[in-house]
Amino acid sequence: MWLTYAILAAICFGLRGSLYHWTSQRPLSRNLMLFGVFTSGAIINLTFAIIYSSNWTTASLVGVMMGLFSFGANASMYKGFAEGKASLVAILTALPPVIVVILAALLWSELPLPMQWVAFIIIVAGILLVRYSNDITLKNLQGAQWGLLAMLLFAFNDLSGKWSTMLQAEIYPSMFFMFITGSLCFGIWWLQELRQQKAAVAAAASTTASMEQTAATTTSSTVSQGAIASGPESVSSEVTSPSCGSASPASSASTSSSTAAIAQWGHGKTFVTGLGVGITNAVGMILLLTAFQTGKAGLVSAVSAMNVLIVLLYTRFIVKDKFSKTEVAGIAIAIIGILLMRFFSA
């Protein structure tokens, strides 16, 4: 049964990844959107915890650890995409199942059966082929440090989830602590970002005011000199001309500012969008923890990592990207691996 839950979790995470891609193409604050994603998860799990009268035990606090790992992993992944090769970061963030299966074996002696090892290796190979890009060379490893950090943190997040089930912590309280922790982290980050933006706007306004004051002083000096040289009629001409000339830059700046304001999503719209995206993330995490209750950590992590296939289907049929031969081969190998995993876990 764990395999079914892991596959459903992969589907949810694939939908989440597709929505992440869609929102990344919109003019919105990513930190505010992710704040909404984690807030949605906290609300959903708190609601379920109240409905089902869940026990809020000390073991549920493992969710705080999960929240910190999830926040750090997402932040590192986005940092890697911003600074380096997206293909390299993508490959590294596809490797957490390898870390999970090794550490689970060392920590809890969770050793897969020999044929499950075969299926595991096939799934990971398929995922890596899907993520593989020919533009990666030894001289082109920008962002590798952030990709490695994201890989480790995603793996630790999965291991923390497995640990919470071993401590018999109930799912909804654990998930609430995870999401509320991530929500607070992204919320604080967004407020800091907002403060920096306001400071930048204030500095720009101060610079503009200073330039206008300098221009006004120069104009006044020019008018005075013209008045002395040419008489009253020249004064009238000089006053009228600079006045008209200075209105044009101000009008242009105002129009540009207005256009930017229209293009940028408002805080409310961005946050509500994050709440909607967060539903897929919350349901995926609930399914993942349910799979961890009966399945081996490394195998569950490997199956859930197949969410990349859902993202690929989205990019093929919605974004209209074409699959390369490497991606097609990776998809086929990953599907074969999941079928073998289902057969050997029956």
Each residue's pLDDT tens digit, 332-341: 887 788 778 7
**Residue 105 placed within a domain:** yes
Largest CA distance in the chain: 101
Judged against a pLDDT cut of 80, whether residue 229 lies above it is answered with: no
- The pLDDT assigned to 256 comes to 47
State mean pLDDT over 68-94: 74
Nearest to 95 by CA among 20, 135, 144, 152: 152
| Whole-structure pTM value | 0.77
Instruction: Please report, rounded to a whole number, the percentage of residues in the chain having pLDDT higher than 70.
Output: 78
Vertex 5 angle, CA 158 and 185, to 5°: 35
State mean pLDDT over 273-294: 94
**Residue 291 placed within a domain:** yes
Q: Hey, what are 295's tokens?
A: 């399945």
Q: What is the DSSP string of 96-124?
A: HHHHHHHHHHHHH--PPPHHHHHHHHHHH
**Tens of pLDDT along 154-212?**
899 999 999 999 999 999 999 999 999 999 999 999 999 999 999 999 998 888 888 87
**Residue 232 placed within a domain:** no
**CB contact at 8 A, 276 and 40:** yes
Nearest to 310 by CA among 71, 20, 3, 2: 20
**Residue 116 placed within a domain:** yes
**Residue 257 placed within a domain:** no
**Residue 144 placed within a domain:** yes
Q: 315 or 288: which carries more pLDDT confidence?
A: 288
Give me the domain span that covers residue 41.
2-194+279-321
Q: 53: left (phi > 0), else alpha (psi -120 to 50), else beta? A: left
**CB contact at 8 A, 229 and 245:** no
**Residue 328 placed within a domain:** no
- The pLDDT assigned to 247 comes to 47
- The pLDDT assigned to 60 comes to 95
Provide the CA 1 distance to its chain's centre, in angstroms: 30
- The pLDDT assigned to 234 comes to 45
**Residue 58 placed within a domain:** yes
In single-letter form, the type of residue at position 191 comes to L
Domain count, the chain: 1
Residues of 105-132 as b/e, b for ≥16 C-beta within 10 angstroms? eeeeebebeeebeebbebbbbbbbbbbb
